Structure 1
Amino acid sequence: MLANTSSKKISHRLLNFIDFVNSLTMEQLNHFFFTIINATPSSSVVMIMFASMVAKYVIFIIPLLLVGLWLWGPSDRIVLLRQLLVKTAIALIFALCVAYLIGHLFPSDRPFVENFGYTFLFHAPNNAFPSNHGSAIFTFALAFLFWHRLWSGISLMIVALTIAWSRIYLGLHWPLDMLGAFFVGLISCFLSQHGWCLWGNSIMRKLLRFYRYCFASLIRKGWVNN
């Protein structure tokens, strides 16, 4: 009996919450979820420090993995792996271009520019939507999810979501900025795949020729992959 009563209370509260969310406009939803995620002066100092480290430095996983896997990836899978890396790099270029265009066509302010919430990390008051950090890391995660293995894609998606959380938590971005970044990633992977079908082999040949010319000495010594 008690279990049924508790279940009914939870269901009632959930329905009330859903009705409340449905009554909000997109801007109100954006502000509502930002308020839930954003840190406050009473938040844990350890959490703020952790979020700051994530927001500033974890994004460097992108160049580290791109360069590291190209130079020292498993030699038995290096051809397919390098194709993945080039497709991912192309998708990243598309992502930054798409984010730049959207930002200039539809400029939006960051939370601290609107004096909304709390900010715990300095940032220039430039355009917020879509997040450049979010666009890059979501594109990277989606690329591995689509073109590599499920486990690597899911692992990187967790990293992407952590970065997205950290930048909202610290007051640098709205939740909508990160949602927009996710869709930028989807669009960019689609464009990269389409471009790869048309010019992938040609791009790969030229890149390998250039790489083997520049790294000939290191390749001969066996320090990097051919």
Structure 2
Amino acid sequence: MESINHTLFLWLNAPEHPSVLALTLATFFAEQLIWVVPLLIGIGWLRGSEGNRKAMLVATASGLLGLLINQAIGLAWMHPRPFMTGLGHTLIPHVADSSFPSDHLTLWWAVAFSLLLQRQPRRISIGLALLGAPIAWARIYLGVHFPFDMFGAISVALLSAWLTLRAAHWYLGLSFRLATAIHHRLFGNLIRLGWVRE
């Protein structure tokens, strides 16, 4: 299996001298696009209905659980990144920790799959899920992940999205009340002006 992983990596990894366009796109997908997740959740909370806000909380829980599962996997089984074994070309700096599964992609897909399972907002969640593919490609292209790291990420993301939705009755009520109280404390003036939904 590891030989297949290495073969796929070398097929997808950047050449020694990639084009400026490919490098720019890959770097954007690999490092910058992830900021869409907190931005989307923030906007969904500030402008959304109660239902949308609860969906954002469940999606946040899914992302956090996915990252927690990844940490446990990394502690139990250390899988070196390509550059740690001298394989391929590495075009962005990265700490030399366990590569499996990809934290970037786990967070991205855990949120996307959670929103998909909750069926709101449908178009955005489908778009998020599809954008996971170029993120996966970019992380491999730039030399910081193996292809199997992405399969691990999709598995963890699906599991965390399912678990946090199934267990929502245990935590959603309390977390919603707490988040709402913080929201009113932080945005009270803007709520009174009508700029932010109560």
Q: Determine what percentage of the aligned residue pairs are the same residue.
A: 31
Separation of aligned partners in 2, 1:42 and 1:166: 15
Separation of aligned partners in 2, 1:138 and 1:28: 26
Q: Which residue of 1 aligns with 2:129?
A: 157
Q: Which residue of 2 aligns with 1:22?
A: none
User: CA shift at 1:209, angstroms?
Assistant: 2.3
Q: Which residue of 2 aligns with 1:186?
A: 158
- Would you say 1:223 and 2:198 are equivalent positions? no
- Would you say 1:58 and 2:46 are equivalent positions? no
Q: Which runs of 5+ in 2 are unaligned?
A: none
Separation of aligned partners in 2, 1:170 and 1:51: 7
- Would you say 1:174 and 2:146 are equivalent positions? yes
Does the residue aligned with 1:215 lie in a helix, a strand or coil?
Answer: helix
One-letter code aligned to 1:170: L
Q: Which runs of 5+ in 1 are unaligned?
A: 1-25
| 8 A contact 1:119–1:171 mirrored in 2 | yes
| 8 A contact 2:105–2:150 mirrored in 1 | yes
| 8 A contact 1:146–1:153 mirrored in 2 | no
- Would you say 1:96 and 2:67 are equivalent positions? yes
Residue-by-residue CA offset, 1:112-139 (whole Å, 9 max, x unaligned): 1100111111112111111111111111
One-letter code aligned to 2:30: A
Separation of aligned partners in 1, 2:171 and 2:28: 39
One-letter code aligned to 1:39: A
TM-score by length of 1: 0.82
TM-score by length of 2: 0.94
Does the residue aligned with 2:81 lie in a helix, a strand or coil?
Answer: coil
Runs of 4+ in structure 1 deviating by more than 3 angstroms, as ranges, are: none
Larger Rg over CA atoms: 1
- Would you say 1:201 and 2:176 are equivalent positions? no
Separation of aligned partners in 2, 1:31 and 1:168: 11
217 and 150 in structure 1: CA distance in 2 versus 1, 3 angstrom threshold: closer
One-letter code aligned to 2:92: L
| 8 A contact 2:62–2:164 mirrored in 1 | yes
Residue-by-residue CA offset, 1:159-200 (whole Å, 9 max, x unaligned): 111111100011110011111011110111122112212232
